[in-house]
């Protein structure tokens, strides 16, 4: 299990390759990557992510440990950035390795659902002349009820 | 006790962290104390349903006891991922 | 949309990185990779995959097109190998890009479920002195009923 | 018409592909014709529930008509992914 919280960009392909390498006993690897999505108007200049140092790492480790308890997993990776990033840049990724695909998929979705609403990150969108905090969505909170 | 603010709560109150000496028994008591102090606190805490709280870096409710707590943090619902 | 059927190994990290690159309008990228899993006894020498040239490509394209009809997707990638491979080697991968994570996850799971039971591939396991065709699992056929 | 066999069906029948002249109206008729020919066919087609069939590279059922078909393939349930 590896949890990384950093402001530096990360190399999604290299992380995915390293995570998947030499998994002779894990038939299924799932990755999810969140990318800074431009606004529909195409005017997003930057996404800024604030976090709560200390609690962030603890919350992510707790979520990953819960996933390992609930599903048969060989390994879990969570990388989440904070600071300023531009459209097209990866914000975060999770990866799961499991003997079977159902466990790998469900655990990755569980990690994402919890990470969205239970890890202390806050997004702010910067457009020309204005900056707005992204509001939490009811559907993200509702997504937790399925687990 | 250290009190921390994040995102728009931090912006409304105007600082990320402060040290507060308090006898408040619960988070709600602490919020009432802060609101009584200055308008910017009252503005930040006007709608508690729009806020989340962590005591010693664990998410909890506004009725949580503060006995022995070293750090309380207030922030809006999280938007990670 | 890209469908690849080949006997050569593929570089999962490089394919994942290329697929995820420059997705300014897609917030969510999901990948699934299937890896040759060793037997519990650790005696699997090789996995051999037979396929039906012509029908394979058509079936994969049809499954990917169905996914694009059912979910809001920006792109779909399917790579599937045939021939002989050893434990730890990637067999196949799918990747989906979508504005939102729910679409990316569901479409990737749909692709996998259909690909398991509706694309003309057959696996044979080689162990010391014997070779056995892998039997289809009822649970893989049952997985289709959820879509 | 080209008739193709894959996986253990290919192994049991002993060849991957053959050209067959037939007046069979459906896949089931073709199977009956083949089974009547030689034991290896009868062995391969003994349990139709364990087999799948594609006509012109599309999965179909054993009651599918063969009129106009150029290619019929028999194989076990698929195990991709």
Cβ distance A12 to C31 less than 8 Å, yes or no, reads no
Pairs of CB atoms within 8 A across A/B: 68
pLDDT at C37: 94
Distance between CA A33 and CA A92 in Å, rounded?
Answer: 6
Average pLDDT of span C49-58:
98
Render D11-71 in DSSP notation, one character per residue: HHHT-SEEE-----SBHHHHHHHHHHH-HHHHHHTS-GGG-EEEETTEEE-TT-B-TT--E
Of the residues C50, C79, C131, the best mutation for testing chain D's interface (the one with the most D CB atoms within 10 Å of its CB) is: C50
Closest CA in chain C for residue A109: C105
Average pLDDT of span D9-32:
97
pLDDT at C24: 92
pLDDT at C105: 98
State chain D's maximal CA–CA distance in angstroms.
37
pLDDT surpassing 90 at residue C22: no
DSSP letter assigned to residue C7: S
Render B2-70 in DSSP notation, one character per residue: EEEE-HHHHHHHT-SEEE-----SBHHHHHHHHHHH-HHHHHHTS-GGG-EEEETTEEE-TT-B-TT--
Closest CA in chain D for residue C110: D81
Distance between CA C30 and CA C12 in Å, rounded?
Answer: 13
Pairing of strands D2-5, D71-75: parallel
pLDDT surpassing 90 at residue D10: yes
Cβ(C48)–Cβ(C126) under 8 Å? yes
Residues of C in contact with A104 (CB under 8 A): 32
| Averaged confidence pLDDT in chain C | 96
Cβ distance C119 to D8 less than 8 Å, yes or no, reads no
Please tell me if residue B59 touches chain A, with a CB cutoff of 8 Å. Answer: yes
Please tell me if residue C50 touches chain D, with a CB cutoff of 8 Å. Answer: yes
pLDDT surpassing 90 at residue A30: yes
- Domain segments of chain B as ranges: 2-75
Cβ(D54)–Cβ(D72) under 8 Å? yes
CB contact burial D35-45 (16+ within 10 A = b; e otherwise): beeeeebeebb
* Runs of H (alpha helix) within chain A: 12-20, 55-70, 101-118, 138-143
Partner-chain residue, chosen from C58, C80, C122, that has the shortest CB–CB distance to D79: C122
Cβ distance C88 to A17 less than 8 Å, yes or no, reads no
Q: Distances in Å between the alpha carbon of A29 and those of A94, A100, C19, C37?
A: 11, 9, 16, 11
Please tell me if residue C25 touches chain A, with a CB cutoff of 8 Å. Answer: yes
Q: Distances in Å between the alpha carbon of D19 and those of A97, B56, C35, D4, D68?
A: 46, 77, 37, 9, 15
Closest CA in chain B for residue A124: B7
The string of pLDDT tens digits covering residues C71-96 is: 999 999 999 999 999 999 999 999 99
Stretches where chain B sits below pLDDT 70 are none
Sheet architecture: strand order including A83-85 = A83-85, A44-51, A121-127, A130-133
The string of pLDDT tens digits covering residues A71-120 is: 999 999 999 999 999 999 999 999 999 999 999 999 999 999 999 999 99
pLDDT at A40: 87
Label residue C40 by pLDDT band (50, 70, 90): confident
Residues of A in contact with C101 (CB under 8 A): 32, 34, 112
The distance of B21 to chain A (nearest Cα, Å) reads 22
| Averaged confidence pLDDT in chain D | 97
Partner-chain residue, chosen from B58, B77, B81, that has the shortest CB–CB distance to A92: B81
> Domains, chain C, ranges and CATH?
2-19+26-137 (3.90.1170.40)
Partner-chain residue, chosen from C25, C38, C105, that has the shortest CB–CB distance to A38: C25
Label residue C54 by pLDDT band (50, 70, 90): very high
Please tell me if residue D54 touches chain C, with a CB cutoff of 8 Å. Answer: yes
ipTM: 0.95
**pTM score:** 0.96
Sheet architecture: strand order including D58-60 = D17-19, D2-5, D71-75, D52-55, D58-60
Interior CA angle at C108 toward A67 and A110, to 5°?
Answer: 20
pLDDT surpassing 90 at residue C7: yes
Q: Could you confirm whether domain B2-75 is CATH 3.10.20.30?
A: yes
Please tell me if residue C46 touches chain A, with a CB cutoff of 8 Å. Answer: no
pLDDT at C128: 87
| CA atoms B49, B51, B53, B59: torsion sign | positive
Label residue C129 by pLDDT band (50, 70, 90): confident
């Amino acid at each position: 299990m590896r949890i990384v919280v950093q402001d530096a960009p990360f190399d999604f392909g290299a992380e995915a390759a390293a995570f998947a390498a030499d998994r002779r006993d894990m038939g299924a690897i799932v990755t999810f990557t969140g990318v800074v999505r431009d606004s529909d108007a195409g005017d997003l200049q930057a996404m800024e992510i604030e976090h709560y140092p200390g609690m962030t790492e603890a919350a992510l480790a707790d979520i990953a440990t819960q996933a390992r308890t609930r599903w048969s997993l060989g390994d879990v990776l969570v990388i989440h950035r904070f600071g300023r990033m531009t459209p097209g840049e990866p914000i975060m990724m999770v990866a799961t390795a499991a003997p079977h695909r159902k466990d790998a998929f469900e655990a990755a979705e569980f990690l994402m659902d919890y990470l969205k609403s239970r890890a202390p990150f806050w997004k702010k969108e910067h457009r020309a002349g204005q900056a707005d905090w992204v509001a939490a969505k009811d559907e993200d909170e509702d997504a937790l009820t399925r687990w | 006790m250290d009190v921390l603010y994040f995102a728009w709560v931090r912006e409304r109150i105007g600082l990320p962290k402060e040290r507060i000496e308090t006898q408040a028994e619960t988070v709600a008591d602490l919020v009432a104390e802060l609101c009584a102090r200055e308008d910017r606190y009252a503005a930040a805490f006007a709608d508690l349903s729009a806020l989340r709280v962590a005591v010693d870096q664990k998410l909890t409710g506004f009725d949580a006891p503060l006995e022995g707590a070293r750090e309380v943090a207030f922030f809006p619902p999280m938007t990670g991922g």
